[in-house]
Amino acid sequence: MLWVKVKRVFRAGFTSFWRNGFVSLASVLVLVVTLFVIGSLIFASATLSSTLTQIQNKVDINVYFTTTATEDDILALKKTLEALPEVAHVDYISRDQALANFKEKHQTDQLTLQALDELGDNPLGAVLNIKAKDPSQYEGIAAFLDGKNALSSDGNTIIDKVNYLQNKVAIDKLTRIIQAGQKLGFTLTIILAIISVLITFNTVRLAIYTAREEISVMRLVGASNKYIRGPFVVTGIFYGLISAIITLVLFYPLTYWLGPKTENFFTGINIFDYYKANFGQIFLIITLSGIFISAVSSFLATRKYLKI
């Protein structure tokens, strides 16, 4: 008996979807716009995250060691730093590598290279390049380096300079940008989601309004509230499925066209490659969002405006 009722509800919902073609088309188009906004937020979030990651990877602090610091002491400090929860990774640059990098950087400056050759000895110390997991954690790492951990085995300091103070302005600015970007993205998502639900709600309410006489007849013959509401919810699910498919189809040529542009402008992310690589996840988000919004809107519209 239950299965028969379910079949009737789905059949009635499917019939209502095709019979009210104009209203169904309007509902689908509104949902397409809604889902397009949701999808755009997904791509915008991915682009923002990739851009911030690229910027964050360019921010670090360098620890410059004295020329008398032994490699064993430097590597011991490197191991200690890597054990800190704030540190993502540490790169070791030896004195010889530091000298080679310096020469490559100033290869067109013959005067500097000549002065370096006249010294007869390598004036550069080894370097540790430190990247934190979060830009806000560099201050703690710098404070750690200022403590006794910077001492060698004989009790003397092996650090010549830490460039945290020189990079502090850039690090603080990056931290504020990341925090502001996250808050803005979350706020926009909430606002657009509420607007989308309201628009869809009113569109679905129009579809239900056209069937008000049919609902009155069903109530007179003793149909239950669930049985009356069921076809409208099923119709809403059809709206969501079709709208999701249309939205995903629209995103394919759009992301294909925008892909090279986002890769060149934002450096590091091709939005078309992201769409292909994460299609399954995007498909689920768009489809479930469409079904949820339309089904919930149908449920609320029947309850609130038709007094079922």
**Contacts by residues 80-87 (CB-CB < 8 Å, ≥ 24 positions apart):** 80/149, 81/128, 81/130, 81/141, 81/144, 84/141, 84/144, 85/133, 86/132, 86/133, 86/134, 86/137, 86/140, 86/141, 87/130, 87/131, 87/132, 87/133, 87/141
pTM of the predicted protein model: 0.61
Q: Which runs of E-coded beta strand occur in 126-281?
A: 127-132, 159-162
Tell me the pLDDT of the chain (308 aa) as tens digits.
Answer: 555 555 655 565 556 655 666 666 777 787 888 788 888 878 877 777 777 677 666 677 888 888 888 888 888 888 888 888 888 888 888 888 887 877 777 777 777 767 767 666 777 788 888 888 877 787 788 888 776 556 666 666 778 787 776 666 766 776 677 677 767 767 776 776 677 667 767 766 776 676 667 767 776 776 666 766 777 777 777 778 888 889 889 888 888 888 777 766 656 678 888 888 888 888 898 888 888 877 777 777 766 555 55
Q: What domains does the chain contain, in order, with CATH numbers?
A: 2-55+174-305 (no CATH), 67-157 (3.30.70.3040)
Q: What pLDDT sits at residue 159?
A: 80
* Both structure tokens of 292: 């949820």
- What confidence score (pLDDT) does residue 121 get? 75
Phi/psi region, residue 147 (left: phi>0; alpha: psi -120 to 50; beta: rest), is: beta
